[in-house]
Structure 1
Amino acid sequence: MSITAYEGLFEGEAAVWLKAGRYEAAILPHIGGNLICFRDTENGYRFLHEPGAEEMEAFKASPGIHGIPVLFPPNRYEDGEFPFNGKTYHLPVNETATGNHLHGFLHTAAWEVEEFGVGKSESFVTVAIKVDENHPSYQYLPFKYTVKLRYTLGEGGLSQHLQVHNDGEELMPCLLAFHTAINAPFAPGSTPQDYKVKLTIGERWELNERMLPTGAFQELTADEIALRDEGLYPFYAPMDNHYTAVAQNGRNRMELTDSKSGVTLVYDVGTSYKQWMIWNNGATEGFFCPEPQINLVNAPKVDLRAEEIGLFSLAPGEYWEETGRLYVK
């Protein structure tokens, strides 16, 4: 099996490419540490929603719906207010339609390549971002921390290892998600109608007109029960829905099955992600985003137990880490 890792370009942007046998992947360190493509070159599968040459400028301006963007802190915060540990921090209101802050700071920031290379049976890359008083986001969330993201490519597909370290001297919030954009169809010759998605959802959070949780749950519809149990067409209705994550058979994952090719893409995200967002661009065929999320939307302002809503914190010197994997069965 041919295995390589090298610096190159993706649509004109600096990238690190990984190759291992039939698989290839590329990461854009300077655009949010975004893993922008994951492909099976033998079968022509393109699993992630990639920006084409004509989309690169829009992607760079708003890198939220291509590849695997890192959101920290993720999703919406009411009026940009972020109360934590007795203080209230103020994030910029960047979603005018709702008057909320959306998606944090890391998906648009420049990350650094720590290392890349090859092992006996896989290629790998590690990127990192260090936030301190010199980082632009520190003015909004004045915490010192380092986030490291390592991707490994091999026979078992694409593995992801994420680590957050509190570099500072006070308790910090650890709220994070991936806005993962999955193609449906991912196989040439297949249509969106050939696809079913299954997701380890539990209960659906009720959201108000500003897309913020009320703290109450809504009863799952028959379609959502199918989404949980046997799978359904990813574009059956517009989805911008928020669910608790409930592991099945010990795993927290999305499964996307192409009935025409008889292939299932598995996105196993680990059980530290307590919530799922699922967004399908207004039921527009082509791609959708199953988003594993540590925390409930607007968690710092929701009056529920911290553990229940994923309102995680890190003490000075502490680490939080989780792994994920995209693979085919």
Structure 2
Amino acid sequence: MQESRTGRQVTLRRGAQRAVIVELGAALRSYAVGERAVIAGFGEQALITGGRGQILVPWPNRIGDGRYSWHGEALQLPLNEPTAGNAIHGLLRWVAWRVVEATDSRAVLEVTLWPQPGYPFHLAVRAAYVLGESGLEVAVTARNLDVRAAPYGFGQHPYVTAGTAVVDEAMLTVPARTWLRTDERGLPVATEPVAGTAYDLRAPKVVGDLRLDTPFGDLDRDADGRAVVRLAHPSGESGTDVWLGEGADYVQLYTGDTLPSDERRRAVAIEPMTCPPDAFRSGTGLISLGPGERHTVRWGITPWGAAHGVTILPE
């Protein structure tokens, strides 16, 4: 049997729900209810493209020039988005995480982030995935093992579907009062109100030809403290919610316009983030994780409605 190119596959099941977590990067490879794909994932033997399902630590999104200063020390990260001159999506996407717990409905993976050029800090990171009655819940905790404070941010990159062939047909709701205008490198240049713009998605709106690779902030939250981004089928009878718990103060939306042609605009990446792009340079939303301190972010996916004859979850 051919060994998986994404490492150990941990399959979670609960009722009609099924999710697969992989050893490589502790990424969420797939999530489905019955025959309905809730996310657009990747194959067991595939090279992960577009950041699908990956955990983005110790920073999400981009750092311009990969260059930042921390407590007076100038630091330089590798530029792994060379065409734009950015360091992108952290340092743990392409390393093997340890599976420390695996049950029918729960998986926990851990990894050590060792001090290295550009990020000379020592962290332990733990990712817990749980399938519950209301969908998939994810909790990612970082603990600083170092003797000094470390800059820290988190993001994760699921590509969400709503049962449409392309995202143009889907309805999108984003409870954000501001959006971040970015330059050609994907770096923020201004924070602007969504009111009166194409980025005002506080009420459901057909995606249409809207092209998004856009950060949003000032999120409105429900009584449980969650900000809920919804991608719904145009019928209004089914869809997928991504909820952002406390600490996930920003969300990046990406309609996949720059992906390979066979993957383009098939799903919307809905990325919970603790900070906006370029936070290591701007300081906006950046977490200073002191020695011994922990930081946990919780987010999750709730499919709802019915599809393929399977009743999924209540709205």
TM range (shorter): 0.7 to 0.9
Deviations 1:62-114 (A, max 9, x none): x4342344343111112110212221211011222221111121112111101
Q: In the alignment, which of 30, 39, 59 is matched to residue 32 of structure 2?
A: 39
Does 2:14 align with 1:17?
no
SS at match of 1:106: coil
Q: Is the 8 A contact 2:29 2:53 kept in 1?
A: yes
Question: Structure 2 length normalisation: TM-score?
Answer: 0.85
Give CA-to-partner distance per residue, 1:159-196, whole Å, 9 cap, x none: 1111110111100111111122112436xxx7645521
Separation of aligned partners in 1, 2:113 and 2:7: 23
Distance 2:228 2:269 in 1: 13
Cα contact 1:197–1:255 (8 A) shared by 2 = yes
8 Å contact kept, 1:25–1:39 = yes
SS in 1 for 2:93: helix
Choose which of 253, 258, 264 in structure 2 pairs with 1:278: 253
* Pairing 1:1-329 to 2, within 5 Å after superposition: 13-29=7-23, 31-41=24-34, 44-52=35-43, 56-59=45-48, 63-118=49-104, 123-133=105-115, 138-185=116-163, 192=167, 194-217=169-192, 220-225=195-200, 227-228=201-202, 230-249=203-222, 250-260=225-235, 262-282=237-257, 284-302=264-282, 306=283, 309-328=284-303, 329=315
- Provide the secondary structure at the position in 1 that maps to 2:301: strand
Number of residue pairs matched by the alignment: 296
* 1:289 to partner: Cα distance: 0.7
Identity %: 22
Determine the C-alpha separation between the residues in 2 that align with 1:106 and 1:90.
Answer: 17
Task: Tell me the CA shift for residue 301 of structure 1.
Answer: 2.1
Q: How far apart in 1 are the matches of 2:120 and 2:218?
A: 30
Output the CA distance in 2 between the equivalents of 1:74 and 1:114.
25
Q: 1:202 to 1:94 in 2, by over 3 A?
A: same
- Offset from partner CA, 1:254-290 (integer Å, 9 cap, x none): 1121243712321111131122211111284311111
Q: Counterparts of 1:35 and 1:285 in 2: how far apart (Å)?
A: 19
> Cα RMSD over matched residues?
2.5
Gap regions ≥5 residues in structure 2: 259-263, 304-314
Q: Distance in 2 between matches of 1:46 and 1:209?
A: 32
Residues 163 and 322 in structure 1, CA contact (< 8 A), matched pair in contact too: yes
Contact 1:278-1:288 at 8 Å conserved across structures: yes
After TM superposition, give the deviation of residue 212 of structure 1 in Å.
Answer: 1.5
Give the match's secondary structure for 1:170.
coil
Residue identity opposite 1:16 in structure 2: V
- Check 1:235–1:165 CA distance in 2 against 1; reply closer, same or farther (3 A cut): farther
- Asked if the contact 2:242/2:270 (under 8 Å) is kept, the reply is no
**C-alpha distance in 2 between matches for 1:168 and 1:39:** 39
By how many angstroms is 1:300 displaced? 2.7
Name the structure 1 match of 2:306: none
- Aligned equivalents of 1:71, 1:238: Cα separation in 2: 26
Describe the SS at the equivalent of 1:223: coil
